[in-house]
Structure 1
């Protein structure tokens, strides 16, 4: 035990700590102390989830703060919008079947080419490694080549900057459950660091996160250690890492930062996170998109932005790309690809003069806001703006216009009595529009 160690034993340990290289600072204190015959405990329980490392402990020396002018501080090295930053691990969280892998394939292609493909701008052409733990290599090839065909990208545009591996051929397990508790595999961490450095990788995408460990997801200590192991890898290599993670079953609710499957430490340990959700029925109705098509539209939200302000939601649309690879006995493959999509602007092409025409047309007409009413104001407004109030998409747009004009005061709701003496709400002119 520790109390049986001699002063010479402690001096040897102290000297080893002073000589330890900086990269060993993330070490398994429990294992080191056990080797010395000591037992390290925390609140009566052995420390678990720490990295397995045979090196000595590093001494802890608090560093005095030294002020420097703000202009001398290096800016954060964002590589892909405000989602991926050098030396940090980020997360992409979504329910199954939403399009996580389709998105990450397009992300990888955008970064390797330096092009803005689905809304986020890469800092420059980057060297990207996409590791997928579920699909075979040939399926990853189908996905990537389909995305290249869809976006008009040739092999010369990614030459030497895009790396793809399947977990079926190159399994990676950064942590596993052991009889002593969850443990991080230091040799795997070291191998990843070496691979990223030797290939000069800027971005590593791990899809999905669950494929790189076999530890209990509900163990916060284990998940914290696993994510921080990737944070260490990012720090040591200067790359950015995106951990693609499933959400728990949501029963139709939208995913958010708290929806990540397993322990809350997964979301807590990353510095940026985004969530994906398919378009819900209410939003589809607003945009005039049919129920059959709405699942092809996916919203991307910043769920956690510790390093930058949360950006507005953006969308992408899932489309099918034919590969032209049919054979005598097999049809060609159609592969899902991600395409940037911007929701329609309700007031695109609508001017102040148009609003004034609408106000004049409905003034004193006692028209209704309710779209089910025979006297719905949209039947008057639509033809004035070249919109068909009986067309589903145009109808949804007219509804949005009326709602917006009421909220801004251009229109208002008044209550009047009908011919039968019943009180009912009608649309009236609020503040009249004034043309410049």
Structure 2
């Protein structure tokens, strides 16, 4: 018998035992003892893009159609290839990226990528030699097929991907969309589990991060989560980071002060599955139209920040509102019509009391909490006392 368990022969593949005879000796799995290591010397997780893409792991982005997921991933790939913070996320240095779009033809991808580069002012030499683009219209990608005995991985395809990733030193591979990368049953959870784990093995084998872009099922108007991805749930289970895109609803646009005449698409990016990092805060993106020199208008994704309550305001603005309130009866209730204090705020600050109502209410709440305004009483209709807002601590410029 061997003295050191590390001298045991390696475990052969499970398939080797499928036809084994009763006299075949199967080696035991010997447990490996845990060895304490100084925490300061432990290697950090090899994040490549924010807290979403990680070496040797699969990440998933889920979104309904028409939100902007392909435009988002194009801009993120550009950020990684150029090493620049284009989308508000930390980026590792010197990354090589490969985007495999399985839906759009190359001329459409050329338009989108060129528009994104010009909009974000990325020069061609910034990503030269580190940015690769392929399309399923020219080069099919089929990693698994459905057979009589169930789904099967197409090993030559996975090996070819591994060879290309190694040869080009690819750090991040983006496959968009996942459903077009295989021919197995989308609702066959066993098949999806096998395919997802094969992608995870490829990421581990090639020391790279893999991003799989996936569609949601119909949610009937409800906000989607990563669990709303189409087909089997095993894809999300195999991922170590999952995020979902949701288009901003009309009500939220009003809350944000976006005018009804603004027809651009605004959407949220929420990382709601995060095994190896804290769940992320909701981030906002906007689709902007960029006109290329050939006359084509192309949508480009950009960062958009939700407006802060007091964004762009100074002490002089508060002082101007206090002076206006001091000379009028500023009713506390929104039901007071033109006498509502919010109408005074809108008039002084050049806002719209209807469109900006939510923000104005937050402004008044903030000033009440700070003591700049205080609640009082005044004579109202029929000599009844009504709540009003009065000046508390005066602002100074």
Same fold flag (TM > 0.5) = yes
RMSD (Å) for aligned C-alpha atoms: 3.1
1:31-71 deviation line (CA, Å, top 9, x unaligned) = 54445489xxxxxxxxxxxxxxxxxx997443221110011
- Matched with 1:83 is 52
1:403-418 to 2 correspondence within 5 Å? 403-405=365-367, 418=380
1:211 match = 180
Cα 1:370–1:159 shift into 2, 3 Å: same
- 1:233 Cα offset (Å): 0.9
3-state secondary structure, aligned to 2:73 = helix
2:362 to 391, 400, 418: 400
Structure 2 match to 1:345: 308
Query: Would the alpha carbon gap of residues 408 and 223 (structure 1) be closer, same or farther in structure 2, given more than 3 Å must change?
Result: farther
Change (3 A) 1:142 1:372: farther
Q: CA deviation at 1:247?
A: 1.0
Q: Is the 8 A contact 1:274 1:304 kept in 2?
A: yes
- 1:18 paired to 2:14: no
CA contact (8 A) 2:112 2:298 kept: yes
1:111 aligns with 2:102: no
Conservation of the 8 A alpha-carbon contact between 2:62 and 2:244: yes
Question: How many residues matched?
Answer: 386
Which of 248, 266, 279 is the equivalent residue of 2:235?
A: 266
Decide whether aligned partners of structure 1 residues 36 and 103 sit closer, same or farther in structure 2, where only a CA change above 3 A counts.
same
Q: Does 1:146 pair with 2:115? A: yes
Deviation at 1:176, TM superposition (A): 2.1
| Structure 1, unpaired ranges of 5+ | 1-16, 39-56, 326-331
For 1:166, the equivalent position in structure 2 comes to 135
Q: Matches of 1:387 and 1:169 in 2, distance apart?
A: 55
Query: What is the aligned partner in structure 2 of residue 53 from structure 1?
Result: none
Within a 5 Å distance, the mapping from 1:35-184 to structure 2 comes to: 35-36=19-20, 60-184=29-153
Q: If the length of structure 1 is used for normalisation, what is the TM-score? A: 0.79
| Residue 333, structure 1, aligned to residue 296, structure 2 | yes
Aligned to 2:339: 375
* Change beyond 3 A, Cα 1:69–1:427: farther
TM-score of the two chains, using structure 2 as the length reference: 0.86
Q: Evaluate the alpha carbon distance shift between residue 421 and residue 233 of structure 1 in structure 2; reply closer, same or farther with a 3 A threshold.
A: farther
Instruction: Report if the CA contact (8 A) 1:281-1:294 is conserved.
Output: no
Q: What secondary structure does 1:337 align onto? A: strand
Partner of 2:3: none
Using the TM superposition, give the Cα deviation of residue 244 of structure 1 relative to its aligned residue in structure 2, in angstroms: 0.5
Give distance in 2, aligned partners of 1:370 and 1:19: 75
**Number of the residue aligned with 2:4:** none
Going from structure 1 to structure 2, the CA distance change for 1:120 and 1:422 (only over 3 Å counts) comes to: same
Aligned 1:273-352 pairs, distance under 5 A: 273-291=242-260, 293=262, 296-325=265-294, 332-351=295-314
Q: Which runs of 5+ in 2 are unaligned?
A: 1-7
CA distance in 2, matches of 1:157, 1:305: 31
Correspondence 1:247 to 2:216: yes
- 2-structure distance, mates of 1:176, 1:58: 33
Shift of 1:128: 0.2
CA distance 1:143–1:354, shift in 2 (3 Å): closer
**CA spacing shift, 1:357–1:195, aligned 2, 3 Å:** same
